[in-house]
Structures are given as structure tokens and as C-alpha cells.
Structure 1
Amino acid sequence: MREIKEVKPEVKPFQDLAKWATKAPEGEKLISTAYGDKVTKDLKFVDNKPGVHKPDPILVADHVTRKFGGMTAVDVEHFEIERHGITALIGPNGAGKTTFFNLMTGFDTPNTGEWRFDGRDMAHMQPEKVARMGMVRTFQLTKVMSRLTVLDNMLLGAPVQPGEGMFRSLIPGLWKKQEQENVEKAEALLERFLLIKKKDDFAGSLSGGQRKLLEMARALMRDPKLVMLDEPMAGVNPALKQSLLDHIMSLREEGTTVLFVEHDINMVRHIADWVTVMAEGKIVAEGQPKSVMNDPAVIDAYLGAHANIDLGDDSVLDLKESEEH
């Protein structure tokens, strides 16, 4: 009797997903939009108001404040990030966005407050422990090791490195296999972020945009649950921006939650599932991108006197920039 074998669908390698996140190759379908569809459904009936509760939050912060002398940089009463969603944190310069990132990831200490990540208390935890828990961030000013190669920078982000111990390092058999797996994973990520040809170059030779890509790729070496990107588009060549957008969207379809700070309103409107707006350290608005762009508090924070004009109108932003100069 002839044996019938089960035919399994072809599984595309994760590094191909970035190319498919927003537009599938001709004649083919998107690999998956399951997480995106779930987040859209979950957030559909959530009220558009500051500090609103989400159906499935991965990060929850309460009463978080940070003061520098007499100035309050962060004063967040309640904040939640929906699991598997792409949340944009926007606001004018000096709103407290980066300081808030620093507090959540252990790079700064708040005056008051507590927060939980995936149900576990994260307050007063050291940055390296925060990363081990699965919450990884990038920086507004990139942090790369200039005198190490691009590949070596990537390997610094690998979570399992048994060869780092002094005694284990003397016995290659204990760490050689894991080291090779780390290298293969790093090279796959560099391929995904269009940096594979630079893998043997010193990181200091990269352009500002390439360093942004390297830092994001290195963050993914830990397979994080939540990635926090601080202005990922700043300094990136316009030719690479669409690629970076696709990378961010592909993270969601791999099951990763994304929180990013960005000033490019068009980018926010294009990829964000939810938008949170900060001004003067407080959360002044939250909601789906379209509703937030028409919120008077948001328009006033960005445009001041142009409070009766739609923030989504690109010409308004151009007008404001010309007035400032």
C-alpha cells in the first residue's frame, strides 16, 4: 500500500518577511497579517483618550514622574502598550519622550512610579536585566562600538554566549557550536537590514543611517518581546526609509511588540496601530492615527497658532518649518 505523506506548506525564512510586510510579491499573498488583524480588532472599540486601558497590554506604567531640579520632565499618570501592536509615541521636542524611554528601560531612575512588563515588576531594574526580560531599546544617538566590525557589534547582542567565561573559553568544544549559531543569526539579520556587505567593516565607517539599521538589527539578536525605537528614521537615507518601515511592520508579524518615537507624521500615520501623544511630560492624547491627528490638543502641541488645521496636511508642516526659519 502506498504511503501518503503529509504535505506541509512552505515556511519562508523570517528575513524574507520584511519584503512582504506591506506589499506581497506579484502573484503571491502576504505571509501573515494575523497579529496586525488582531490588534486592529482589539483596539477598534477602545476610547481615544489619555491613559485608556487596552485589551491586552504588555507594558503598564502608573504614576511615573521624573524631575530635574524644579522642572518636571515626565509626569505620566497611566500608560499602556497593546501586545503585538505598533505604538507611536509622538510629541514636540522636549516633551519627555526619550526620558520616558530611559525610565522604562532602567537607564534613569524616576522620582515616583511603578511599571510592569508582561506581568512582572520592572521598577528600579538594571538595564541589562531589562534586556534579558525581553524589553530592548535603541537610542536617538546610536550606540555602536566603532572599533569593532559590524559583525562583532551584532554578536554583542546575542543572549547566549558560553565562551565568555574565562575557563570555558579554554575549551572550544563547549562554545564553538553556539558561537556558529550566533554568527549565522547575525548574518541573517544583516542580510535583512541590507548590511551584509559591511559585516567585516568597522562600525565607525558606517553612515548615520546605517548605524541606525545596525542598532535595530543588534536589538533583534535577543528575540525581544518589546522593541523600543527612539527616532529610528532620524539620519536615515530617504532611499532606505521604506525598507525600514517594512522591517518595523514585519516585527509585528513575527509577534514582537513595537513602541517607537518619531517626528515624521506621515510615517506614524502609515504604520502605527495606536498613537500616544506627549507634551510637557504628560500624555495629552491617545488613539488611532486618524483621530489623533485631528485632536485639538495634538494640533496645538505641534502647530500652536495653526490649531484649526488638520495635522495630516503635509503642507502645514512645511509652512511651520518655513516660519521657524
Structure 2
Amino acid sequence: MRENNVETTREAKPFQDLAKWATKAPEGETLISTAYKDKVSEDLKFVDNTPGVHKPDPILVADHVTRKFGGMTAVDVNHFEIERHGITALIGPNGAGKTTFFNLMTGFDTPNTGDWRFDGRDMAHMQPEKVARMGMVRTFQLTKVMSRLTVLDNMLLGAPVQPGEGMFRSLIPGLWRKQERENIEKAEALLERFLLIKKKNDFAGSLSGGQRKLLEMARALMRDPKLVMLDEPMAGVNPALKQSLLDHIMSLREEGTTVLFVEHDINMVRHIADWVTVMAEGKIVAEGQPKSVMNDPAVIDAYLGAHANIDLGDDAVLDLKESEEH
């Protein structure tokens, strides 16, 4: 029943307007349905907070995935699952293997061992472009935009249907002009949503680091993905844009999109994640709901730092550190 309500709401409200509904309804209107959030929260409520635990409705399942570089093991994941329609955070110290794991799942790197399934289909050893066509798309820690193309052209590169790309078809505008208009309308709607519409005719290379992050996320949504994998979406983003980006991520869930993201901003993780997975030295070392994981003393001390929740500008921290040393 809840999912049907979500579908009805999505038809009544254009997707590009959802971002403003994520946390606070516009004046005079009611809050959008949070059916997916409610469903995920209810399902995960009964899941044990143990590494590699099985989920009620996983969209991505990985088993025995390893990646070695010489004598160093970068990834050694025995079992990993992502709950459908949820927002899962993958956290851990630098060098934990998070980005390498992303690369393996999306076909940008090849594992030494292991297999994984996306929405019930085998994805091991599949090329990145085929992974994207199956509905699993990712963004990068270091943004990948075409600097000498306009922002709009960058968006159009992500469109799944491009009938005019063939040499002979391109000579017959009647075969592709309608689809091209639809692609442009969709791209402009997404740019409006991500506050980039005024930049659509600018070269992508002229954008700030934060704007490039927004462009990359918007381009990923051109494919209407089932799963979006965001590699440090907040890195380099102006603080003024962070709340907007948070709302965009939460609105993805209410559109029925599953989100997996890597992030070092622990406050962001607490705010939006339904489930948190902790990686260290290539292994999954902890999993659970944000409150339980963040309050685990072993996780805080080993992976987030003993003073993760303390304002580092407070001189009291220095006094506390000195007393601990003595």
C-alpha cells in the first residue's frame, strides 16, 4: 500500500521538485510521502548489527570479493548486502578499500576472487558501460566531467537513448530529433533541480569543485538508475550547497532509488543514512543502524577517532589529550 502511495505521489509531483520536499514541505503544502524510508526503517529494525548480515530485500549482494595489489590486500569482503530503497553509508579510514570496492562492483577494476549480483543478475566481470545500462551507476571521488563540453552536453552524454549517434542515422533528423528534444528537456529539469540551469551553456571546466559534484550526480540520474553509488559526494562542496545536496540524496530514496555512498562527514552519515557499514583494511568490520554503529566505542576509537564528536577548536580537547597522555 505504501509503495502504491509513493507511485501516486511521484505522478502528481514532477521529480525535479522532490528535492525541496525531502526534509521540509513548502509553505502551505504537506510533507511528501516517506513510504520508502518508513519501509526500510521497519525492515532493518530487526536486522542484527553484525558484519555481513543478511538483509530482508537486498538489491546488491557480494560474496568472497578480494583484490590484491602485489603483497597488499586492498579488499577482502566475505559477504556484503545493500537493502533496496535504503540509503547505506560506507565509512572507514583512508586506505580502507572503499573506493577500490566501488571500482570492483562497477566494472572499473577486476577482482582476484568473488562474485556479486545486482537485482538478481550476475554482474561479475561485466564492463562498466553494461553495468550502467543494468541500472547501477556511480560518481567518482575525483569528478569526471568533459571540461571542453558545455554543462548541457555533459548531461546529454548520460542519456540512455541516443538514436542519432550512428553515422547513417545522424543524417536523417526525423529519426532522432524527437528523442533529442526529450533528452534536453530531462537534462534541463535535472539541472534546474541541482541549481545548475544558469550554467547550462558554460563549459564544464569553468565550474567549481562543488558544482562539478552536482553535475556528476545530475548526469548519473539521466539514466533513471536503480542504484546510485556516490564516492565522497560532499568532498570539495561549498558548505552552502551541502544541505541542498543532502536533500537531493534523500529525495532519491523517495523516488525509489537505492543509494550507497562513501563519506567522511560523520554528521552527514548520522543525518541521512538508514544503515552504516564500516570498512577497515579491506574488510567489513561493523554494520548496523547509524546510532548503534556511531556509539560503538571500538568503532569510534579505531575508525572515526576517539574525539570524532568533539569540536577540535575547543581548547578543552588539548587539555583532555594531555591528561590522557599523563
Q: Specify the alignment match of 1:142 in structure 2.
A: 143
The 2-side partners of 1:6 and 1:284 are apart by: 37
User: Residue 316 of structure 1: CA displacement?
Assistant: 7.4
User: Residue 27 of structure 1: CA displacement?
Assistant: 3.1
The 1-side partners of 2:81 and 2:2 are apart by: 56
Which string of whole-angstrom CA distances, capped at 9 and with x for unpartnered residues, describes residues 71-125 of structure 1?
Answer: 0000000000000000000000000000000000000000000000000000000
Larger mean CA deviation between 263-272 and 25-34 belongs to 25-34
User: Residue 145 of structure 1: CA displacement?
Assistant: 0.1
The 2-side partners of 1:150 and 1:321 are apart by: 51
- Contact 2:93–2:304 (Cα < 8 Å) also in 1: no
Greater than 2 Å deviation, 4+ residue runs: 5-10, 300-325
1:66 equivalent in alignment to 2:67: yes
1:154 equivalent in alignment to 2:150: no
Note closer, same or farther for the CA distance 1:321–1:188 as it changes in structure 2 (3 Å cut): farther
The 2-side partners of 1:321 and 1:164 are apart by: 65
Note closer, same or farther for the CA distance 1:57–1:169 as it changes in structure 2 (3 Å cut): same
The 2-side partners of 1:86 and 1:106 are apart by: 22
Note closer, same or farther for the CA distance 1:107–1:324 as it changes in structure 2 (3 Å cut): farther
User: Residue 324 of structure 1: CA displacement?
Assistant: 15
Q: Which runs of 5+ in 1 are unaligned?
A: none
Note closer, same or farther for the CA distance 1:117–1:2 as it changes in structure 2 (3 Å cut): closer
Note closer, same or farther for the CA distance 1:283–1:185 as it changes in structure 2 (3 Å cut): same
Note closer, same or farther for the CA distance 1:135–1:8 as it changes in structure 2 (3 Å cut): closer
User: Residue 169 of structure 1: CA displacement?
Assistant: 0.3
- Contact 1:87–1:273 (Cα < 8 Å) also in 2: yes
User: Residue 170 of structure 1: CA displacement?
Assistant: 0.4
Which string of whole-angstrom CA distances, capped at 9 and with x for unpartnered residues, describes residues 183-206 of structure 1?
Answer: 000000000000000000000000
The 1-side partners of 2:229 and 2:50 are apart by: 22
- Contact 1:150–1:214 (Cα < 8 Å) also in 2: yes
User: Residue 298 of structure 1: CA displacement?
Assistant: 1.4
- Contact 1:61–1:113 (Cα < 8 Å) also in 2: yes
Q: Specify the alignment match of 1:193 in structure 2.
A: 194
Note closer, same or farther for the CA distance 1:89–1:313 as it changes in structure 2 (3 Å cut): farther
- Contact 1:285–1:297 (Cα < 8 Å) also in 2: no
Name the count of aligned residue pairs.
Answer: 324
Which string of whole-angstrom CA distances, capped at 9 and with x for unpartnered residues, describes residues 203-248 of structure 1?
Answer: 0000000000000000000000000000000000000000000000
User: Residue 302 of structure 1: CA displacement?
Assistant: 2.5
User: Residue 171 of structure 1: CA displacement?
Assistant: 0.3
Q: Alignment RMSD, CA only?
A: 4.9
User: Residue 296 of structure 1: CA displacement?
Assistant: 3.0
- Contact 1:51–1:77 (Cα < 8 Å) also in 2: yes
User: Residue 301 of structure 1: CA displacement?
Assistant: 2.3
Note closer, same or farther for the CA distance 1:319–1:208 as it changes in structure 2 (3 Å cut): farther
The 1-side partners of 2:114 and 2:287 are apart by: 20
Note closer, same or farther for the CA distance 1:201–1:279 as it changes in structure 2 (3 Å cut): same
User: Residue 294 of structure 1: CA displacement?
Assistant: 1.4
> TM-score, normalization: structure 1?
0.92
Note closer, same or farther for the CA distance 1:159–1:320 as it changes in structure 2 (3 Å cut): farther
Note closer, same or farther for the CA distance 1:199–1:268 as it changes in structure 2 (3 Å cut): same
- Contact 2:230–2:262 (Cα < 8 Å) also in 1: yes
User: Residue 12 of structure 1: CA displacement?
Assistant: 1.4
Which string of whole-angstrom CA distances, capped at 9 and with x for unpartnered residues, describes residues 148-177 of structure 1?
Answer: 000000000000000001110000000000
Structure 2 counterpart SS, 1:224: coil
Which string of whole-angstrom CA distances, capped at 9 and with x for unpartnered residues, describes residues 241-278 of structure 1?
Answer: 00000000000000000000000000000000000000
Note closer, same or farther for the CA distance 1:254–1:167 as it changes in structure 2 (3 Å cut): same
- Contact 1:15–1:191 (Cα < 8 Å) also in 2: yes
User: Residue 9 of structure 1: CA displacement?
Assistant: 11
Q: Specify the alignment match of 1:2 in structure 2.
A: 2
Note closer, same or farther for the CA distance 1:315–1:302 as it changes in structure 2 (3 Å cut): farther
The 2-side partners of 1:104 and 1:194 are apart by: 30
Note closer, same or farther for the CA distance 1:320–1:288 as it changes in structure 2 (3 Å cut): farther
The 2-side partners of 1:182 and 1:283 are apart by: 40
- Contact 2:210–2:236 (Cα < 8 Å) also in 1: yes
Structure 1 counterpart SS, 2:306: helix
Note closer, same or farther for the CA distance 1:10–1:231 as it changes in structure 2 (3 Å cut): closer
Q: Specify the alignment match of 2:87 in structure 1.
A: 86
Note closer, same or farther for the CA distance 1:134–1:308 as it changes in structure 2 (3 Å cut): closer
State, as a whole percentage, how many aligned pairs show the same letter: 95
Note closer, same or farther for the CA distance 1:125–1:289 as it changes in structure 2 (3 Å cut): same
User: Residue 297 of structure 1: CA displacement?
Assistant: 3.2
Note closer, same or farther for the CA distance 1:270–1:205 as it changes in structure 2 (3 Å cut): same
Note closer, same or farther for the CA distance 1:227–1:319 as it changes in structure 2 (3 Å cut): farther
